[in-house]
């Protein structure tokens, strides 16, 4: 240390300067300083997120279950106000257990066909039963989804029906391709 470090240029004494800096802890390691800085950043991030959720609409809503109803595009639901979207999603959620059961039945049908084909002795009746089971499962799933679609459509306003029609057309024109970062992906 030089005499300038001890005696400040404004004429104050070193003890006075030490008293001025007492609020700042003297850390012996740069790691502690880094740790305190990172801790401060994390605390500010958590605080900002909490304030953001409080000011905003809250956490992002997931449109769970709507994939069971293939005629209603997710894009349509995302364009509706939150309260209205929740009313419509209640229709799907009310029949969620039935839809899950039908989807499970539909997914098991190909496995039954594979089991019939993999049997030690080929049984055409077992293969036919598995194919018929697949057809029945898919018809049941589509039928239940169609019933839900009709229930949803019956509760829409004329403006919402036009918005739904537009969303269906847009999805049909894309041909099943999804947009990611402004670019369409393959089918």
pLDDT tens-digit map of 81-123: 888 888 988 888 888 888 889 889 989 999 999 999 998 999 9
- 8 and 48: one domain? yes
What pLDDT was estimated at residue 63?
Answer: 47
Look at residue 162 and tell me if it is in a domain: yes
pLDDT tens-digit map of 34-88: 888 899 999 999 998 888 777 765 554 444 445 446 778 878 888 888 888 889 8
Look at residue 169 and tell me if it is in a domain: yes
- 106 and 137: one domain? yes
CATH label of the domain that carries residue 86: 1.20.120.1490
As a whole number of angstroms, the distance between CA 82 and CA 86 comes to 6
**Among all chains, which residue has been given the structure tokens 């089971």?**
133
Among candidates 24, 7, 28, which has minimal Cα distance to 16?
7
Full residue range of the structural domain in which residue 103 is found = 66-175
Q: What is the mean pLDDT of the chain?
A: 78
pTM check: above 0.75: no
């Amino acid at each position: 240390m030089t005499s300038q470090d001890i005696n400040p240029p404004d004429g104050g004494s070193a003890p006075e300067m030490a008293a001025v800096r007492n609020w700042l802890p003297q850390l012996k390691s740069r790691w502690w300083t880094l740790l305190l800085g990172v801790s401060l950043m994390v605390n500010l991030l958590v605080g900002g997120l909490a304030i953001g959720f409080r000011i905003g609409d809250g956490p992002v809503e997931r449109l769970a279950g709507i994939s069971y109803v293939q005629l209603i595009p997710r894009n349509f639901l995302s364009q509706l106000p939150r309260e209205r979207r929740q009313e419509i999603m209640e229709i799907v959620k009310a029949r969620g257990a039935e839809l899950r059961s039908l989807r499970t039945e539909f997914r098991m049908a190909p496995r039954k066909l594979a089991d019939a084909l993999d049997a030690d002795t080929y049984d055409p009746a077992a293969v036919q039963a598995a194919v018929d089971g697949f057809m029945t499962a898919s018809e049941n799933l589509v039928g239940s989804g169609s019933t839900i679609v009709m229930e949803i459509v019956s509760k829409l306003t004329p403006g919402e029906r036009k918005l739904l029609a537009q969303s269906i057309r847009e999805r049909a024109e894309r041909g099943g391709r999804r947009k990611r970062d402004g670019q369409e992906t393959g089918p």
